[in-house]
Chain A
Amino acid sequence: MNMLLLSLILALGIYALLSRDLLHSVIALSAISMLSALLFTILRAPDVAITEAAVGAGVSTVIFVWAIRHTQRRDKEES
């Protein structure tokens, strides 16, 4: 179970770095926070799970969406 969640987190991380549209990467980062919160609950750490869920899916996503809105949404060049 741990291995499945960790491999999903790794796949989403690599997708977030290679995607052309920056908004898709932000949603992938938010999904990484949610999967991490689930993994922390399985590993018996409820305080860290509540903090990661509230901070990663709430505040961090709002800040990223604000930054993308005031700059460009598409990546114009190659990596």
Chain B
Amino acid sequence: MKKLELIKIVITVLLCALLVVPIILSNHSWPTQARDYLFDNARSDTGATNTVSAIYLGYRAMDTLGETLVLLVSVTGTMAILVKLGKEHSDEEATSFSLAPEKRPTNRLRTHLLETVASKLGPIVLLFGFYVMLYGHISPGGGFQGGVIVASAIVFLALGTEVKSKLTNTLVLSRIEALSFLVLILASISGVFFESGFFGNPIKSASSLSANFIILLNIIIGLKVGTSIAVMCIAMMGGSHDH
């Protein structure tokens, strides 16, 4: 029986290699028309200097909407399974990571060194996350990158116990996430009413800053991605008792 399994695995891998390896090893010349068009027209069409931001927030914003929806569905599914697991097995060892210091049976995993350093580093990383989010149109960065850095900063704040802030409360974070998803849907539909098409720019010449729609979209997407990943990580560490 073991030999039959091995032969089946080898045949499967050989079939996959036959189909995929010629595609990876092929050496055609890469076309340059897209790069030339974007080099000439990206700044006047969308107002952003970062060409990658101009693509996924200006020309192909529909992909960004789909990706935000995939993130929402997967975090909701993971939270549903996590909450059910936490209710079935409330053993002391799994949740002792998040209890208050005087109630914990042992200090082995969460030492004073970890708590002090994490609570001092948290606000600095939060500031850096907001900087990356807001300057996405002229330097590398943007909504997703800034959002994931903000999520890491909230996890740092949850690991330290110097100050008990509202930012690590899962109820507050999930309200922010729902509100920012609603604002994203409203911002994408509002282009239709101002004659720019779906996901068009509704405030084209309202102010001197020409990239204002991209900055708005960056802020909304960054808040949504950051808070949803932070809620998932805090629930994994066992700290979602006030939900």
Query: Does B associate with A?
Result: yes
Chain A residues within 8 Å of B, Cβ to Cβ? 46-47, 49-51, 54-55, 58-59, 62-63, 66, 69-70
Q: Is B219 an interface residue (CB 8 A)?
A: no
Q: Known pairs A49-B140, A51-B144; list 13 more (Cβ under 8 Å).
A: A47-B53, A47-B142, A51-B148, A54-B145, A54-B152, A55-B148, A58-B152, A59-B152, A59-B229, A63-B233, A63-B236, A66-B236, A69-B94
Q: Are B145 and A50 in contact (CB under 8 A)?
A: yes
Range, interface on chain B: 20 to 34
Report 12 cross-chain contacts, Cβ distance below 8 Å, ordered by A residue: A46-B140, A47-B145, A49-B140, A50-B140, A50-B141, A51-B148, A54-B149, A54-B152, A59-B148, A63-B233, A63-B236, A70-B85
Helix, strand, loop or mixed for chain A's interface?
Answer: helix
Q: Is B155 an interface residue (CB 8 A)?
A: yes
Chain B residues within 8 Å of A, Cβ to Cβ? 50, 52-53, 85, 94, 132, 140-142, 144-145, 148-149, 151-152, 155, 229, 233, 236-237
Q: Are B148 and A58 in contact (CB under 8 A)?
A: yes
A-B contact count (CB 8 A): 39
> How far is it, in angstroms, between the C-alpha of A62 and the C-alpha of B155 when the chains are bound?
10
A-side contacts of B140, CB under 8 Å? 46-47, 49-50
User: Knowing A58-B148, A59-B148, A63-B236 touch, does A50 contact B132 (C-beta < 8 A)?
Assistant: yes
B132, B141, B145, B233: residue with the most chain A Cβ atoms closer than 10 Å: B145
Q: Are A62 and B145 in contact (CB under 8 A)?
A: no
